[in-house]
Amino acid sequence: MTSINRLPTKEFLTRRGVKLRQLERGCSWCDRELESAKYLFFQCNFIEGFWRNIFECLQVCKSLWLISVTATCWSVWLERNELVFERKWSAASNLLFHSKMQALIIGGLFWYPSAYGWVKFNVSGVANEAEAGCGGVLRNLNGVARALFFSLVAAKDSIAAEIGAIIITLDVYLAMGWKGKGSLIIEIGSNEDIENRMDKVGNISFLKAEKHGNEVAFALALAGIKRPRMFKAWC
Protein backbone atom coordinates (compact mmCIF):
# COMPACT_ATOMS: atom_id res chain seq x y z
CA MET A 1 0.00 0.00 0.00
CA THR A 2 2.88 2.36 0.73
CA SER A 3 4.35 1.98 -2.77
CA ILE A 4 1.12 3.06 -4.48
CA ASN A 5 0.48 5.82 -1.95
CA ARG A 6 -2.96 4.58 -0.95
CA LEU A 7 -2.50 4.80 2.80
CA PRO A 8 -4.88 7.33 4.38
CA THR A 9 -2.14 9.79 5.30
CA LYS A 10 -3.00 13.45 5.77
CA GLU A 11 -1.80 14.23 2.24
CA PHE A 12 -3.97 11.43 0.82
CA LEU A 13 -7.03 12.57 2.76
CA THR A 14 -6.53 16.18 1.63
CA ARG A 15 -6.31 15.08 -2.02
CA ARG A 16 -9.54 13.12 -1.56
CA GLY A 17 -11.33 16.26 -0.38
CA VAL A 18 -11.23 15.72 3.38
CA LYS A 19 -11.04 19.10 5.11
CA LEU A 20 -8.15 19.32 7.56
CA ARG A 21 -7.03 22.40 9.40
CA GLN A 22 -3.62 23.69 8.29
CA LEU A 23 -2.07 22.83 11.66
CA GLU A 24 -3.27 19.22 11.36
CA ARG A 25 -1.62 18.46 8.00
CA GLY A 26 1.97 18.08 9.21
CA CYS A 27 3.94 14.88 9.76
CA SER A 28 2.73 13.10 12.88
CA TRP A 29 6.34 12.65 14.04
CA CYS A 30 7.93 16.06 13.45
CA ASP A 31 5.13 18.34 12.13
CA ARG A 32 7.63 19.98 9.73
CA GLU A 33 6.36 18.74 6.37
CA LEU A 34 3.05 17.64 4.87
CA GLU A 35 2.40 14.05 5.93
CA SER A 36 2.83 11.93 2.81
CA ALA A 37 3.48 8.18 2.96
CA LYS A 38 7.04 8.68 1.69
CA TYR A 39 7.84 11.33 4.28
CA LEU A 40 6.07 9.53 7.14
CA PHE A 41 7.87 6.20 6.63
CA PHE A 42 11.28 7.20 5.28
CA GLN A 43 12.17 10.93 5.15
CA CYS A 44 11.28 12.30 8.59
CA ASN A 45 14.39 12.81 10.76
CA PHE A 46 12.81 10.81 13.59
CA ILE A 47 12.16 7.85 11.29
CA GLU A 48 15.57 8.04 9.58
CA GLY A 49 17.28 7.38 12.92
CA PHE A 50 14.82 4.62 13.63
CA TRP A 51 15.60 2.87 10.30
CA ARG A 52 19.34 3.04 11.04
CA ASN A 53 18.76 1.02 14.20
CA ILE A 54 16.62 -1.47 12.30
CA PHE A 55 19.31 -1.97 9.63
CA GLU A 56 21.92 -2.55 12.35
CA CYS A 57 19.70 -5.34 13.63
CA LEU A 58 19.35 -6.79 10.12
CA GLN A 59 23.12 -7.16 9.86
CA VAL A 60 22.81 -9.71 12.65
CA CYS A 61 19.73 -11.47 11.22
CA LYS A 62 20.02 -10.97 7.47
CA SER A 63 17.46 -13.67 6.68
CA LEU A 64 14.86 -11.52 8.47
CA TRP A 65 15.35 -8.42 6.33
CA LEU A 66 12.18 -8.63 4.20
CA ILE A 67 9.98 -9.58 7.14
CA SER A 68 11.63 -6.87 9.25
CA VAL A 69 10.95 -4.11 6.72
CA THR A 70 7.31 -5.18 6.41
CA ALA A 71 6.87 -5.51 10.17
CA THR A 72 8.61 -2.17 10.75
CA CYS A 73 6.33 -0.30 8.34
CA TRP A 74 3.32 -1.87 10.04
CA SER A 75 4.63 -0.89 13.49
CA VAL A 76 5.30 2.68 12.33
CA TRP A 77 1.75 2.96 10.97
CA LEU A 78 0.19 1.61 14.18
CA GLU A 79 2.24 3.99 16.34
CA ARG A 80 1.33 6.88 14.04
CA ASN A 81 -2.38 6.09 14.46
CA GLU A 82 -2.04 6.00 18.25
CA LEU A 83 -0.34 9.39 18.14
CA VAL A 84 -2.94 10.94 15.82
CA PHE A 85 -6.11 9.50 17.33
CA GLU A 86 -5.18 8.85 20.97
CA ARG A 87 -2.36 11.38 21.50
CA LYS A 88 -0.03 8.60 22.74
CA TRP A 89 3.61 9.34 21.97
CA SER A 90 5.94 6.34 21.70
CA ALA A 91 9.68 6.66 22.33
CA ALA A 92 12.00 5.50 19.56
CA SER A 93 13.27 2.67 21.78
CA ASN A 94 9.73 1.33 22.24
CA LEU A 95 9.02 1.56 18.52
CA LEU A 96 12.26 -0.29 17.78
CA PHE A 97 11.39 -3.05 20.25
CA HIS A 98 7.87 -3.48 18.86
CA SER A 99 9.22 -3.69 15.30
CA LYS A 100 11.81 -6.34 16.21
CA MET A 101 9.21 -8.37 18.06
CA GLN A 102 6.77 -8.13 15.14
CA ALA A 103 9.44 -9.42 12.77
CA LEU A 104 10.51 -12.25 15.06
CA ILE A 105 6.99 -13.38 15.88
CA ILE A 106 5.75 -13.11 12.27
CA GLY A 107 8.87 -14.64 10.80
CA GLY A 108 9.30 -17.46 13.27
CA LEU A 109 13.00 -17.63 12.31
CA PHE A 110 14.32 -21.20 12.71
CA TRP A 111 11.31 -22.05 14.87
CA TYR A 112 9.95 -25.56 14.47
CA PRO A 113 6.36 -26.46 15.40
CA SER A 114 5.67 -29.10 18.00
CA ALA A 115 3.93 -32.41 17.30
CA TYR A 116 0.14 -32.61 17.30
CA GLY A 117 -1.26 -32.35 20.82
CA TRP A 118 1.73 -30.39 22.11
CA VAL A 119 2.44 -26.67 22.52
CA LYS A 120 5.91 -25.20 22.77
CA PHE A 121 7.09 -22.49 25.16
CA ASN A 122 10.46 -21.01 24.18
CA VAL A 123 12.27 -19.46 27.14
CA SER A 124 15.55 -17.63 27.61
CA GLY A 125 17.58 -16.04 30.40
CA VAL A 126 20.13 -13.26 29.94
CA ALA A 127 22.69 -11.86 32.39
CA ASN A 128 24.25 -8.47 31.68
CA GLU A 129 26.80 -7.22 34.24
CA ALA A 130 24.83 -6.81 37.49
CA GLU A 131 21.39 -7.34 35.93
CA ALA A 132 19.54 -10.36 34.60
CA GLY A 133 16.33 -10.79 32.66
CA CYS A 134 14.18 -13.61 31.37
CA GLY A 135 11.51 -13.97 28.72
CA GLY A 136 9.39 -16.55 26.98
CA VAL A 137 6.85 -17.02 24.20
CA LEU A 138 4.30 -19.79 23.68
CA ARG A 139 3.15 -20.60 20.15
CA ASN A 140 0.47 -22.93 18.85
CA LEU A 141 0.92 -25.43 15.99
CA ASN A 142 0.57 -22.64 13.41
CA GLY A 143 3.31 -20.55 15.01
CA VAL A 144 0.86 -17.97 16.40
CA ALA A 145 2.04 -16.46 19.70
CA ARG A 146 -0.54 -17.19 22.41
CA ALA A 147 1.37 -16.04 25.50
CA LEU A 148 4.56 -14.19 26.37
CA PHE A 149 6.38 -12.75 29.36
CA PHE A 150 9.55 -10.80 30.13
CA SER A 151 10.95 -9.37 33.35
CA LEU A 152 13.98 -8.43 35.42
CA VAL A 153 14.96 -11.38 37.63
CA ALA A 154 17.15 -11.88 40.69
CA ALA A 155 19.90 -14.03 39.19
CA LYS A 156 23.70 -14.01 39.11
CA ASP A 157 24.08 -15.59 35.68
CA SER A 158 22.12 -16.63 32.58
CA ILE A 159 21.68 -20.20 33.86
CA ALA A 160 19.91 -18.96 36.98
CA ALA A 161 17.89 -16.53 34.82
CA GLU A 162 16.74 -19.42 32.60
CA ILE A 163 15.70 -21.41 35.66
CA GLY A 164 13.62 -18.39 36.68
CA ALA A 165 12.16 -18.29 33.16
CA ILE A 166 11.15 -21.96 33.39
CA ILE A 167 9.40 -21.37 36.72
CA ILE A 168 7.47 -18.42 35.26
CA THR A 169 6.62 -20.50 32.18
CA LEU A 170 5.01 -23.21 34.31
CA ASP A 171 3.08 -20.60 36.32
CA VAL A 172 1.80 -18.91 33.14
CA TYR A 173 0.77 -22.25 31.62
CA LEU A 174 -1.23 -23.13 34.74
CA ALA A 175 -2.78 -19.65 34.91
CA MET A 176 -3.91 -19.97 31.28
CA GLY A 177 -5.94 -23.04 32.21
CA TRP A 178 -4.39 -25.15 29.45
CA LYS A 179 -3.62 -28.13 31.70
CA GLY A 180 -5.37 -31.19 30.26
CA LYS A 181 -5.81 -29.60 26.82
CA GLY A 182 -2.43 -30.73 25.52
CA SER A 183 1.15 -31.42 26.50
CA LEU A 184 3.79 -28.76 27.07
CA ILE A 185 7.27 -28.51 25.57
CA ILE A 186 9.66 -26.03 27.19
CA GLU A 187 12.51 -25.26 24.83
CA ILE A 188 15.63 -23.59 26.34
CA GLY A 189 19.36 -22.64 25.36
CA SER A 190 16.54 -28.90 38.52
CA ASN A 191 15.64 -27.63 41.40
CA GLU A 192 12.70 -28.29 43.78
CA ASP A 193 10.74 -25.21 42.69
CA ILE A 194 10.80 -26.38 39.07
CA GLU A 195 10.00 -30.00 39.96
CA ASN A 196 6.99 -29.00 42.09
CA ARG A 197 5.50 -26.97 39.24
CA MET A 198 6.29 -29.74 36.74
CA ASP A 199 4.32 -32.19 38.91
CA LYS A 200 1.32 -29.84 38.85
CA VAL A 201 1.42 -29.32 35.07
CA GLY A 202 1.87 -33.00 34.19
CA ASN A 203 3.44 -34.16 30.91
CA ILE A 204 6.37 -31.87 29.97
CA SER A 205 9.33 -32.23 27.63
CA PHE A 206 12.48 -30.06 27.69
CA LEU A 207 14.45 -29.41 24.52
CA LYS A 208 17.59 -27.46 23.73
CA ALA A 209 16.85 -24.86 21.03
CA GLU A 210 18.74 -24.72 17.74
CA LYS A 211 21.31 -21.93 17.37
CA HIS A 212 18.78 -19.34 16.14
CA GLY A 213 15.59 -21.02 17.33
CA ASN A 214 15.12 -18.98 20.49
CA GLU A 215 15.22 -15.44 19.04
CA VAL A 216 11.88 -14.19 20.42
CA ALA A 217 12.48 -15.48 23.95
CA PHE A 218 16.00 -13.99 23.89
CA ALA A 219 14.64 -10.57 22.80
CA LEU A 220 12.02 -10.71 25.56
CA ALA A 221 14.71 -11.57 28.11
CA LEU A 222 16.76 -8.54 27.03
CA ALA A 223 13.67 -6.35 27.39
CA GLY A 224 13.03 -7.88 30.81
CA ILE A 225 16.32 -6.46 32.10
CA LYS A 226 14.90 -2.95 31.69
CA ARG A 227 11.46 -3.74 33.10
CA PRO A 228 11.04 -3.40 36.91
CA ARG A 229 7.79 -5.39 36.98
CA MET A 230 6.71 -8.66 35.41
CA PHE A 231 4.70 -8.48 32.16
CA LYS A 232 2.48 -11.46 31.29
CA ALA A 233 -0.14 -11.88 28.56
CA TRP A 234 -2.13 -14.75 27.07
CA CYS A 235 -5.27 -15.36 25.07
Q: Say what the pLDDT of residue 195 is.
A: 67
Q: Say what the pLDDT of residue 30 is.
A: 84
- Tell me the percentage of the chain whose pLDDT exceeds 70: 72
Strand order in the sheet with 231-234: 204-208, 183-188, 118-128, 131-139, 145-152, 231-234
**Shared-domain flag, residues 127 and 210:** yes
Residue of 169, 164, 159 whose CA lies nearest to 204? 169
Classify residue 112: in a domain, yes or no.
no
**Shared-domain flag, residues 213 and 122:** yes
Average pLDDT over residues 3-15: 75
Classify residue 1: in a domain, yes or no.
no
Task: Indicate the pLDDT class of residue 4, thresholds 50, 70 and 90.
Answer: very low
Average pLDDT over residues 105-124: 68
Q: Say what the pLDDT of residue 68 is.
A: 59
Q: Has residue 78 got a pLDDT over 60?
A: yes
Domain that residue 85 falls in: 10-107
**Shared-domain flag, residues 71 and 133:** no
**Shared-domain flag, residues 225 and 124:** yes
Q: Has residue 122 got a pLDDT over 50?
A: yes
Report the number of distinct structural domains present in the chain.
2
**Shared-domain flag, residues 103 and 124:** no
Domain end among 107, 129, 164: 107
Mean pLDDT of the chain: 75
**Shared-domain flag, residues 91 and 124:** no
Secondary structure of 84-122 in HEC code, one letter for each residue? HHHCCCCCHHHHHHHHHHHHHHHHCCCCCCCCCCEEEEE
User: pLDDT, tens digit, for every residue of 24-75?
Assistant: 778 888 888 888 888 888 888 888 777 777 666 555 454 455 545 666 777 7
**Shared-domain flag, residues 136 and 69:** no
Q: Say what the pLDDT of residue 222 is.
A: 80
**Shared-domain flag, residues 127 and 216:** yes
**Shared-domain flag, residues 100 and 135:** no
**Shared-domain flag, residues 122 and 228:** yes
